[in-house]
Structures are given as structure tokens and as C-alpha cells.
Copies of this chain bind each other. A is one copy, B any other.
Amino acid sequence: MQKKDFESALKVNQGIEQPPAINPYLKNFYKKNRVKLLSEDEYVEGITSGNTSILSQAITLVESSKSDHRAMAQKIITRSIPHAVKSMRIGITGVPGAGKSTFIEAFGSLITNKGHKLAVLAIDPSSEKSKGSILGDKTRMETLCNDPNAFIRPSPSSGSLGGVAQKTRESIILCEAAGYDVIFIETVGVGQSETTVHSMCDFFLLLMLAGAGDELQGIKRGIMEMSDLIAITKADGNNKDKATLAKALYKNALHLFPPTESGWVPTALSTSSVTKLGLEEVLEKITEYFDMAHKSGYYLHKRREQSRFWMYETIQEELKEHFFENEIVKNSILDYESKVLHGEISSFAAATKLMDLYKSQI
């Protein structure tokens, strides 16, 4: 069996993908290897003893759309919270072409070599459309994939950003309960994902290329101002001088920004995933940040604020789902939207009418 087929089959077993009905050999494989549900205790014990296979299966429950899976997942998470190690949750994003995967591979290996346990999770609400990139990513991270101290999990492959974010946050807790003390949350750079990742990590790392050209198109405005550190990548070969210059430019620009809530002063570094230039410095900066944040109490403060935020955010998501799934709302909303777009009714009048319809139903 080919590696590709195996990985694909594994995903089906994990509930991530639907089995392709075509290949009878694979069909057989699914049946033979279908993961069966463990007991709640088995999951919790497996996770807290650092069993990656059970961790992986538990995350599959988190990502499942079946209600009994979700219910089991909730129980496992609640019991995992007290076991979660104090971790560094690091959000990583970057402009297209910045070499995110190779950076994570190189920087992640540095981190596991220092004795840390690293989990790499991803948020990519678009991954449903481009499932290929997930496997692509995994093959570009070959060293980490074979590193016993690294756990790599591709983005859940379906659902709204809100849904994906929820699953990722729950997976973070499970990884922490399994002893992973460094968590990378990678975002595949589009739309609102960065803001979402920002609200679930302690530290936000932005990967940039030298030169503010077309590649900047790939990130949204506002990302720079939420970064705690900008790493200029590919500072090697002919590109090294350009990257050093870019570092200086970004450093100056960062000084003009309003201060961060944490009191941290963001800075810029130039790095190379090939020569390993700057990677130690990135880790030093991150360590410095966490020392500062622990000392000032900001670490705990931010974590608590995030927990609160996600409680209210989830409520909001569920309220919206309940509303937009309502049949009468579904049947009328596009009409109202069109009236709003044509200036026949104000946004607020339309919203009020839709709310009245909804309330008459519930």
C-alpha cells in the first residue's frame, strides 16, 4: 500500500475524510482498521500518559460531527483540563512564500532538541477545498514527523471558522494534557483566521519576506500590529543583505505602533531555515516574552480573558447557527439582503424584520 493511500485511509478512519467509494482494496482496509471507541477512562489515561495514538483518536472525537462523539469529547476535555501542562501557545502566520512549513520544521526541531515536547496544530477553514495542502505540509515536515517529541495534526477539514477554531482550542487542551509544553498554532493566512489564532495563543509570530512586494497581498492589514515578533525568513545566500535591511525597516516601523497590552515591545529578526540563522534568537525572544508575562501576571490574565472570550464567542456562534438554520429565516434572508443591497430598506429594518420572523418561530 502506498504511503499516500495509507495516510488518506488513516484520515477516513479518523473521520476527517469520506472514504472514496472506488477502491475496493482501500474499502477493505477501512473496515479492518476502523478505530473503535475506547472508554472515557481509557482516553483520559492514554492522553495523560502521553500515548499519541490515543491523543490522536481523542482529537478525532473532538473533530467529529456525530453528537455521541462530541459528548464523549467534552467529557474527556473536562477531565483533561487539570492535567494540562503550563504551555507556550505560539501562533504562527506568514505571507505566502515565506516558507512557513520549512520554518516550522527547522524551528520546531530546535525546540524539541532543547527537550520540549511540541504539538503543531493548524487552523485553515479553507482546507476543505484544498485537502492536498495538508499532506503536502506533512511531507515538507519530514524531520518533525519522525520526531518522537513532536506531534503534528492537520487542520480539521470542515466547518466554519468558528467551528474549526473551537476544535483547535479543544485539541490544544488535549495536547497539553498529554504533556506537550510548546504548541504551535499555524494559520494558513487568509481572512479572519489570524485574528482567531491571535485569540487562542500567548505569543504571535509573523513570518515576512524581505521586500514589500506582491507577497504582502497575502496577508490582511492589521496582522502586523498584532504580532509580538516579526521574523524575516530566507535570510540566506543572495537574499541575506536584503533580509537584514528588511529587519531594520520593520524594527523601526514597530516603534511607531501603540504599545501592546502586555507591555512587551515587539521586534524583528532575520532568520534562515537553511543556515539556522536567527532561530536561536527567535526562541530567546519567545522565552524572554514568557518570562516577562509570567512575572507580570499577564500570562494568566490573558489566558483567563481568552477562556472568557471563547465562552461568549461560542454562545454567539451557536445563537447564529440556531438563527440561520431556521427554515423561515433561510427562506427570507436572501430577499432581505437583496433589498438592503438595493437600498429599498435599511440594514436595521431588515434585521428587525428577520428577527421578528425568527421570534415568531421559536
Q: Is A224 an interface residue (CB 8 A)?
A: yes
Contacts of A115 in B (CB 8 A): none
With A221-B226, A310-B351 given, can you name 15 additional A-B contacts, CB distance below 8 Å? Answer: A78-B345, A81-B345, A81-B346, A82-B343, A169-B348, A212-B255, A221-B225, A221-B260, A252-B253, A304-B341, A307-B343, A307-B347, A311-B351, A316-B316, A318-B352
Interface residues of A in 212-236 (CB under 8 A from B): 212, 216-226
Q: Are A347 and B311 in contact (CB under 8 A)?
A: yes
Q: Are A341 and B307 in contact (CB under 8 A)?
A: yes
- Which single member of B222, B259, B336, B350 contacts A222 (CB below 8 Å)? B222
Q: Are B253 and A256 in contact (CB under 8 A)?
A: yes
Q: Is A355 an interface residue (CB 8 A)?
A: yes
Interface residues of A in 331-345 (CB under 8 A from B): 336-337, 340-341, 343-345
Q: Are B212 and A256 in contact (CB under 8 A)?
A: yes
The 4 A-B residue pairs whose C-beta atoms are closest, nearest first, are: A314-B351, A310-B347, A253-B253, A311-B347
Determine the distance from Cα of A319 to Cα of B362 in the docked complex, in whole angstroms: 12
Q: Are B350 and A311 in contact (CB under 8 A)?
A: yes
Interface residues of A in 242-287 (CB under 8 A from B): 249-250, 252-253, 255-260
CB nearest neighbor in B for A250: B256
Q: Are B225 and A346 in contact (CB under 8 A)?
A: no
Contacts of A17 in B (CB 8 A): none
Chain B proximity of A260: nearest CB distance (Å): 7
Contacts of A344 in B (CB 8 A): 81
Q: Is A170 an interface residue (CB 8 A)?
A: yes
Q: Is A166 an interface residue (CB 8 A)?
A: yes
Q: Are B258 and A220 in contact (CB under 8 A)?
A: yes
Q: Is A131 an interface residue (CB 8 A)?
A: no
Determine the distance from Cα of A225 to Cα of B220 in the docked complex, in whole angstroms: 9
Determine the distance from Cα of A166 to Cα of B24 in the docked complex, in whole angstroms: 58
| Cβ proximity bits A177-200 to B, threshold 8 Å, 1 near / 0 not | 000000000000000000000000
Contacts of A166 in B (CB 8 A): 348
- Which single member of B253, B255, B346 contacts A77 (CB below 8 Å)? B346
